[in-house]
Structure 1
Amino acid sequence: MKALDEDFKGSIVEADADETVAQTADEIIESTRDFVLKELSKNLKGYDLEPFVANLLQAMGYRTILSPHGGDSGIDITAYKDELPPRIVVQVKSQDGDIRENMIQSLKGAMREGDYGLFVTLSNYTKNAQRYLENTPIIRGINGTELVDLVLKYYDQLSVKYRKMIPLKMVYIPVPAEE
């Protein structure tokens, strides 16, 4: 602890330390995001992703109802913010390939007047599907990256089952001082 001695003549290089900390923090964040998406993809194939998304919506403050498997007319989850409309109908896809426009159109076809739609996938959307979502403001698309953002934001409110599946620990990382 020479730095605490009164006669210490050394210097501390803060700029390099800040850059190293920032780089390390970015690497940790990216590694965590990759881990979460990998665990979701590995553990929640097919119908198993639906109760996870329902639990995530509950963590966000929604009441959810899971539809029975098969014959759901494109609606996997129905969500409500409270007892009043609007109803949010949710389609969940865990497939590896990108979501095409016709899959989102299928959800729109299952919607009633006044409904909002939510399409959740672990993958991404084709260009045409992205364009369709942009032109259909009553349907929101969430891709794998956005899903991970929500998992990280609401992690503490997820059920124990899912927190055990995706074991994470809260850590604090120094960030460079803003200039």
Structure 2
Amino acid sequence: MSEPTVWGVHMGWHVDNRPIDGGYVAIGWPGLGDIRAYPDREAFKVALAAQAAEGHAGAVPVQAGVLFRFTHEMKAGDIVVYPSKHDRMVNIGRFTGQTSYVEGDGDEYPNRREVEWLGHYPRNDFSQAALNEIGSYVTLFRIRRHAREILAKIGLIPAQGAPAVTADVADDTADDDAATGSVSRQAEETTADFVIRRIMADLSGYRFEELVAHVLECMGYTARVTPRSNDGGVDVIAHMDALGFQPPIVKVQCKRVTSQTGSPEVNQLLGTLGDGEFGLFVNLGSYSRSAVELERNRPKLRLINGEQFVELIQQHYGKLAPRYRSLIPLKLIYVPDLPQA
């Protein structure tokens, strides 16, 4: 039996789990309306050309190809990979064949395909080469070189069959801005992947707590790691005055995990807080919706996920102790700062 086609879909910077909870993937172009009304690529090209801003006509063939594939080429049983940026998860599902259009609610992604989600995995579960491929520059694309790694992850082929690589065939040629934006985005994502992999491979849970404390010190706090046992859910205590007598006092819980942290663990930290004390939770993964709701409703709580922790390391890299710069060797580069799709 032949292996299913594997597609990749980017949905911009969704700030929540709507596509996961709703069982769909979606693309934009709300100005085109219901894209099921366009029968072929030429119809898409005509409609896009009428809307194209001056100087962006070169992007029309690429965009028409994306829209045509999404509407007419993807079929029930195909596999889809959606890397969600807000929580750094790789979501894998199967198309059911149903297409829909959401009208009138202001959604920037109104054209949808229904998906049965099969699994949600941290990025470090995949090879860096596979992550680079799913960071493609277009909204919708075929995953070819590392399709078998994806299929093995969800158990459709044996794991030992995953490394096989097929020919690298490009679906389209991107316009300059799209390709340049891809390089910038991929540089950022690859750096975050590298830093998190290094921490996971070389630091124990306690050593990770020490790193968090050190980063806080680089930010201007005085920080100390609590004893390894009987810490009551508090791993680091930080404060602005040298003796730690003056509020605010920041109690920090550190989890060296790339998976999702739920509200029970966050609530444990909240239970330790007294007057003039704030809670900070740091992990290398993401947080559940209920945990994020806790943060929104508790002004004394702050959640730092893996991507945000990497950003803090980058911002204060010059102040890091030599042992940490040796663990995480980085150098400053400049990449184009283009708007996110």
Moved more, 92-101 or 54-63: 92-101
Question: 2:258–2:283: 8 Å Cα contact kept in structure 1?
Answer: no
How much is the aligned-residue C-alpha RMSD, in angstroms?
Answer: 2.0
1:50 counterpart (194, 209, 222) = 209
TM-score (normalised: structure 2) = 0.44
Q: Which has the larger radius of gyration?
A: 2
- Give CA deviations for 1:18-48 in whole Å, capped at 9, x if unaligned: 6654432332222112211221222223212
Higher-strand-fraction structure: 2
CA distance in 1 between partners of 2:193 and 2:251 (Å)? 28
- Is the Cα contact below 8 Å between 1:37 and 1:122 reproduced in 2? yes
Higher relative contact order (CA 8 A, sep 6+): 1
Alignment of 1:11-160 (within 5 A): 20-83=179-242, 84-160=246-322
Q: Aligned partners of 1:104, 1:175: CA distance in 2, in Å?
A: 34
In 2, distance between residues paired with 1:28 and 1:34? 10
Judged with a 3 Å threshold, the aligned counterparts in structure 2 of structure 1 residues 17 and 130 are, in CA distance, closer, same or farther, namely closer
Candidates 165, 169, 174, aligned match of 2:327:
165
1:61 Cα offset (Å): 0.8
Could you say what secondary structure the match of 2:261 adopts? coil
Is the contact made by 2:258 and 2:306 (CA closer than 8 Å) also made in structure 1?
no
Structure showing the higher helix proportion among its residues: 1
Q: Post-superposition shift, 1:157?
A: 1.0
Write the distance in 2 (CA, Å) between the matches of 1:175 and 1:111: 40
Residues 95, 123 of structure 1: 8 Å contact kept: yes
| Shift of residue 158, structure 1, vs aligned partner | 1.1
TM-score normalised by structure 1 residue count: 0.81
How many residues are treated as equivalent by the alignment?
162
CA 1:18/1:100 → structure 2, altered by over 3 Å: closer, same or farther? Answer: closer
Of stretches 164-173 and 22-31 in structure 1, the one that deviates more from structure 2 is 22-31
Q: Which amino acid aligns with 1:77?
A: V
Structure 1 residues 17 and 102: CA distance shift in structure 2, 3 A: closer
In structure 2, C-alpha distance between the alignment counterparts of 1:121 and 1:17, rounded to whole Å: 36
Q: Provide the rounded CA distance (Å) in 1 between the counterparts of 2:268 and 2:182.
A: 43
What do residues 44-88 of structure 1 show as CA deviations (whole Å, max 9, x unaligned)? 232121000001001111100110101011111110122431111
> Which residue in the other structure is 1:10 paired with?
none
